[in-house]
Structure 1
Amino acid sequence: MGELETCLAVLYKRKGKNILTEAEFQFAVSLDFRWFTPQEAQRLMDLSIKQGLLARTDTYLKPTFDYKDVEAPLSFRPSKDVLTGEKEEISVFAELVQLITSKGGLKKRESVARINKVQERLGVDAEVAALIVARDLAVDITDYIEPVKREIL
């Protein structure tokens, strides 16, 4: 999970709302939390929309992911690097967890818990355990077999 996603999750959790107006978003980021300047808050909002983490509907902004499942320390403060817009490389394991949650119908925590159980029971790498969990849920894992091989060998 990237810093941008964590930043948005913390923002919406602390505000206690599922949707914010653009003005509320910018006010919270720049004045309430003092994370960024108003111009940087605008850039954060634009970047979040561009990367598909926020959806704009009329005058409201709503996260496109389940921000309540994102965990961050109470002292969380985003770095300025979050404004660069460079996508972080997503690990094969993270992709598999996303695949299991989206196609397998499990919540992220449940997915990771199942993967951990399989990993412990079989003594395999986390990526291999994720493939097994996905297969057990009838999720197509064909595109992930080679990347997992490269990851573990």
Structure 2
Amino acid sequence: MKFGVVRVDELTKVVASVFKKKSTPQLPIKEFEFALSFDFKWMSPDEASKVSRMAVESNIVHEDNENLNLNIALDNISIPHDFKPSNELFKEKSIIEQIMEYITVTINMDRQNVASKINTKHEKFSELLYPEVAAILVAKEMGCDIMPFYQKVYNNIIQYE
């Protein structure tokens, strides 16, 4: 496994910006969302709520008693002085992208390595597995909690039929 500074996606930079500004590893959800909307003026309150949910789903933070707690080390994240999130932040990600992001954050592995492992797993089974299932298998092998993805993958596979 490759540790140290990793390529950080936009969502991680957004979340890290708030926690770095507040200088704390834990924030009340409302304070986090307020910071995005009113301190940084990056988005509406509804969009800020969506960002907090996305951060939990991506395992960047975990929710505990109305607080968001960081699951990442802020020291490894460099945020440019003029950073501002793009509209791409709210673009709906595919299930595979969500799983890849989750693995990347959970085990601190480069996204390209994660994609390579998923492709290898998919090819190993002669492409008989749906790509989403290959991603779930890789996540499980890497020790990630994949419960949040089972229903999403199942629903996605049913749509293929």
Q: Which runs of 5+ in 1 are unaligned?
A: 101-126, 128-142, 148-153
Pick the aligned partner of 2:91 from 84, 94, 102.
Answer: 84
Cα displacement (A) at 1:67: 2.1
Larger C-alpha radius of gyration, 1 or 2?
1
Q: How many residues in Structure 1 have an aligned counterpart in Structure 2? A: 103
2:52 match: 45
* Separation (CA, whole Å) in 2 of partners of 1:88 and 1:72: 22
Runs of 4 or more above 6 Å deviation: none
What SS is found at the alignment partner of 1:75?
Answer: coil
Q: 1:40 to 1:72 in 2, by over 3 A?
A: same
* Separation (CA, whole Å) in 1 of partners of 2:64 and 2:99: 29
Equivalences for 1:19-98 in 2 at 5 Å?
19-86=26-93, 87=97, 98=108
Q: 1:99 to 1:84 in 2, by over 3 A?
A: closer
| Identity fraction in percent | 22
* Separation (CA, whole Å) in 2 of partners of 1:40 and 1:14: 19
**36-45 vs 14-23, greater mean Cα deviation:** 14-23
TM-score, normalisation: structure 1: 0.57
What SS is found at the alignment partner of 2:108?
Answer: helix
Q: 1:82 to 1:99 in 2, by over 3 A?
A: closer
What SS is found at the alignment partner of 1:46?
Answer: helix
What SS is found at the alignment partner of 1:17?
Answer: coil
Q: Which runs of 5+ in 2 are unaligned?
A: 1-7, 121-161
Amino acid at match of 1:37: S
Cα displacement (A) at 1:32: 0.3
Pick the aligned partner of 1:2 from 1, 6, 9.
Answer: 9
* Separation (CA, whole Å) in 1 of partners of 2:44 and 2:109: 36
Alpha carbon RMSD of aligned pairs, Å?
3.1
TM-score, normalisation: structure 2: 0.54
- CA deviations 1:19-59 (Å, max 9, x no partner) are 11011011100000001000000010111111211100112
What SS is found at the alignment partner of 1:36?
Answer: coil
